[in-house]
Amino acid sequence: MKFLKISPILLLFLGFACNYEKKIVQTREKCKTKYPVIFVHGIAYRDDVGVLPYWSHIPKVLRKHGAKVYLSHTQAFNSHIDNAILLKYRILDILETTGAEKVNIIAHSKGGLEARWMISRLDMADKVASLSTIASPHKGSSVADSILNSLKIKNKTQLVVKIVEFYASAIGDREPNVLEAAENLTVEYMSHFNESVPKMENVYYQSYGCVMNPYYPLKYLLSAQNLLSEKEGDNDSQVSIESAKYDNFILVESPDGFGLSHFDIAGMRFISKSSSFDAEKFYIDIVNELKNSGF
């Protein structure tokens, strides 16, 4: 019997082709979680503004890696309770569309508080596999306290509220509640919030935070960072590390000497263009970990 001779070069090519195909499959399935992923944005902006996307290219990149990704479409300026209700029905729609039993939530800033309220107070614990909060003010933020106190002292609260309501309506909010949205972030308010919003046993919680260094290039962020440093210590210009800590906390570091701002960690480059932080890789790693953990 004669055997077909295959040249070493051909064998080498076939091996390369197989490895290449394997890597493509691995890339396509790196973020293929058991449950869909829903991103929940924070205060002052929406995730459905097409010109400057809140999450930049992050959802698109995750989809390329196999994840089913959805956005919350909650309001920019609303109480955490009202946004939690919107989030609940958004998730129920996603579950009906996908046939999935649960979702993984990734929430930035105030969005993390809204997700916590929804899970604990709106009977949604059995619909949520995991909650990953990104720089969420679980203990409130002195920045919110300072802004509100300053407006009261200067008697400009109503004027500023009307201006912000106009902006909120322009970007798509319906009946924005600016004052309550801001009050929901104060230190005192969050102390009461935490007493009435317990963690739920069947939900996996994890939290992330970051620190902006004093020599960060953008001066308008530095003023807030300095204010918060005096009262709460290391922070990202909006939320301190101590406030960002919740279950399974992870400190996110930057590859350069600037540190990370509250906006860098969400990939909001249209606000902060100074960091070399790879936000897309950061979220790929989060979702890959969720996949590997069975979520």
Is residue 284 a part of any domain in this protein?
Answer: yes
Q: Give the N- to C-terminal CA distance of the chain in Å, as an integer.
A: 53
Is residue 130 a part of any domain in this protein?
Answer: yes
Read off the pLDDT of residues 51-75 as tens digits, 9 standing for 90 and up.
899 999 999 999 999 999 999 999 9
Evaluate if residue 7 carries a pLDDT over 70.
no
Read off the pLDDT of residues 166-202 as tens digits, 9 standing for 90 and up.
999 999 999 999 999 999 999 999 999 999 999 999 9
pLDDT of residue 16: 56
Domain tally for the chain? Answer: 1
Domain residue limits at 59: 32-292
Query: Residue 123's domain is classified under what CATH number?
Result: 3.40.50.1820
- Average pLDDT of the residues in 88-98: 98
Is residue 51 a part of any domain in this protein?
Answer: yes
pLDDT of residue 3: 47
Evaluate if residue 122 carries a pLDDT over 70.
yes
What is the CA 272 to chain-centroid distance, rounded?
Answer: 16
pLDDT of residue 258: 86
Is residue 190 a part of any domain in this protein?
Answer: yes
Of the ranges 26-30, 96-100, 266-270, the best mean pLDDT one = 96-100
Evaluate if residue 109 carries a pLDDT over 80.
yes
Cα separation, 280 vs 267, in Å, equals: 7
Evaluate if residue 117 carries a pLDDT over 80.
yes
For 52, other C-beta atoms within 10 Å of its C-beta total: 12
Least confident piece of the model among 5-9, 23-27, 129-133, 155-159: 23-27
Is residue 12 a part of any domain in this protein?
Answer: no
- How does the average pLDDT of the chain come out, rounded? 92
Is residue 27 a part of any domain in this protein?
Answer: no
Is residue 274 a part of any domain in this protein?
Answer: yes
pLDDT of residue 14: 54
User: What confidence tier does 255 reach under pLDDT thresholds 50, 70, 90?
Assistant: confident
Is residue 5 a part of any domain in this protein?
Answer: no
